[in-house]
A and B are shown apart, each in its own frame.
Chain A
Amino acid sequence: MSAPLLQLDQVTLRFGGLTAVDAVDLAIPEGELMGLIGPNGAGKTTVFNLITGVYAPSSGAVSFAGRPLAGLRSHEIVAAGVARTFQNIRLFGSLSVLDTVRVACNRHRAASPLQSLIRLRAFRESEAAVTRRAEELLELFNLLRFRDAEARSLPYGEQRRLEIVRALATRPRLLLLDEPAAGLNPAEKLELVALIQRVHREFSVTILLVEHSMRVVMGVCQRIAVLDHGKKIAEGSPEAIRQDPAVIEAYLGPDHATGLFHH
């Protein structure tokens, strides 16, 4: 097997005396759809923040496509091919739906900022191409009807979808989804499962999914890693995780043995 696309090697993050992430190893091969679960405060989002350069690890290393990410700033990590969504939706308050996607296409536009002043044909074509691509993406995710609306005024579920579209517009090789099902109702969750599978298939992107909802994780992930108190306590197929006593204990405490994942 070739080298994994994303590799975390003994990654540790300490805030003062608190160890938020404790010597976590993680390897995601290209093309996989992997889940990262764990109880509240287990350090899942912190792992995302470590991968995307929001925090620098206290020790250990993160590498992407064989290249160490140490010292790179968030936007440079995006340029390397890692995009993310946020647990608490972070859309741009003053941009329309279309512009939200256009701004994320920045890395792939052909024209330089100076050309916007001279406005030759090349500039206009490049701008038109960006707009076209943004519209295509919105169409794919059934958001084009909101094209000129303010991004923040969309219904909640649509905002989550728009965040995924925005991340895809940066043309990532690895997509990090941070609790995309949070706040969705059961019907919307089902739609989301289908959507994640579609993204995984049609954009041939590797996905790491942090999720609380077992229904979503068990439904889509090929492999699952479990965090508890910053440590990785289990890793394996959904079936294996479902049965893992350490996982059940972490979620429900030592007295519960079964029945966790059946509802």
Chain B
Amino acid sequence: MTELLQQLVNGLSLGAVYALIALGYTMIYGVLRFINFAHADVFMVGGFIGLYLAPHVPGGGTVLGGMLVLFGAMIGCALLGMGIERLAYRPLRGAPTLNVLITAIGVSLFLQAGGQLVFGAAPRSFPAVFPTGAITLGPLEFSTNQLLVIGVAGALVVALQLLVYRTRMGSALRAVSQNPKAARLMGINNDVVIRWTFALGSALAGAGGVLYAVNYPSVDPLMGVMPGLKAFVAAIVGGIGSIPGAALGGLLLGLIETVVAGSPYSTYKDAIAFALLIVFLLFRPAGILGRARVEKV
């Protein structure tokens, strides 16, 4: 029982990071209908922005200082995301999915290779930007970082949900994701909405990057690859295009992975995520909270 609770917290903190990345995938898929492979690398850049920002932020090691680092990474990634959209994806509006997908893979490779050139290929240890400590609760022990990751991620998901359902930009975003053509006819500037979607999604990935780095205190240029793929699995499992679905999928995947990692089959943990992906795509492609589409003849 103790073991299980401990695993639950571990799984939730990992899942919270997956959820943050998955939100970006799901939002971008919602408006543009393609998998933004580069999203995982925006997450990586978020980690590095945190690394470089940490020494220059007043009040390092305090909650306030940590939050400043987090916001810095979010703003940096939002700008990066908007830049990628403007330079690489906008010229391809209306092009076949395949071309956009390849472009996304190209951008992803560019960020990885560029990251290796600029940041160096070796992993760098990540400073303690938040106050660290352990909380003991009977036989259970949590690090404050784990709770922090869960708390911050939870707050961001709630903020996003409010943004999407309570603001004008949010309703424009939903309109574009339901029917881009009709949205344009209603006077919505799709390009603006898409740019904002990239900014929001990338900011969440940036936050995820810092939180991930805080918890596994190191960053490297390829750190986005695996969490990125798994977050995408999370987005599909939850139901692509659904914000609560992405959050749910992320948590679910984090939990499953933590349980497998603690079992004798730990070396198979990377395969589990993909097996889950295949099972879902085959038997419930719409995901837990998504809706299926049918082709009209």
Contacts and interface: CB of A to CB of B under 8 A. Distances in A.
B292 interface: no
A220 B297 CA distance: 26
A86 B297 CA distance: 8
Interface residues of B, number: 1
Nearest to A48: B297
Interface of B: 297
A54 interface: yes
Contacts of A86: 297
Contacts of A45: 297
Contacts of B297: 45, 49, 54, 86
Nearest to A52: B297
B142 to A, nearest CB: 47
4 contacts: A45-B297, A49-B297, A54-B297, A86-B297
Interface string A34-64: 0000000000010001000010000000000
A114 to B, nearest CB: 30
Counting contact residues on chain A (CB < 8 A from B), the size range is: under 10
A45 B296 CA distance: 11
A49 B297 CA distance: 8
A84 to B, nearest CB: 10
Which A-B residue pairs are the 4 nearest by beta carbons?
Answer: A54-B297, A49-B297, A86-B297, A45-B297
B70 to A, nearest CB: 46
B7 to A, nearest CB: 42
A54 B297 CA distance: 8
A45 B297 CA distance: 9
A213 to B, nearest CB: 21
A86 B295 CA distance: 14
A144 to B, nearest CB: 30
B110 to A, nearest CB: 31
Interface string A85-120: 010000000000000000000000000000000000
Interface in A50-81: 54
B248 to A, nearest CB: 26
B297 to A, nearest CB: 5
B292 to A, nearest CB: 12
A152 to B, nearest CB: 15
A49 B296 CA distance: 10
Contacts of A49: 297
Contacts of A54: 297
Nearest to A49: B297
A86 B296 CA distance: 12
B228 to A, nearest CB: 33
A207 B141 CA distance: 77
A221 to B, nearest CB: 24
A87 to B, nearest CB: 9
Nearest to B294: A15
A228 B102 CA distance: 47
B293 to A, nearest CB: 14
B147 to A, nearest CB: 45
A209 B297 CA distance: 17
B261 to A, nearest CB: 43
A132 to B, nearest CB: 32
A49 B295 CA distance: 13
A15 B297 CA distance: 15
A21 to B, nearest CB: 14
Nearest to A87: B297
Interface string A10-52: 0000000000000000000000000000000000010001000
B117 to A, nearest CB: 40
A231 B172 CA distance: 40
A242 B23 CA distance: 59
Nearest to A55: B297
Nearest to A45: B297
A234 B297 CA distance: 26
A54 B295 CA distance: 11
Nearest to A86: B297
A11 B297 CA distance: 19
A71 to B, nearest CB: 19
A202 B217 CA distance: 79
B99 to A, nearest CB: 15
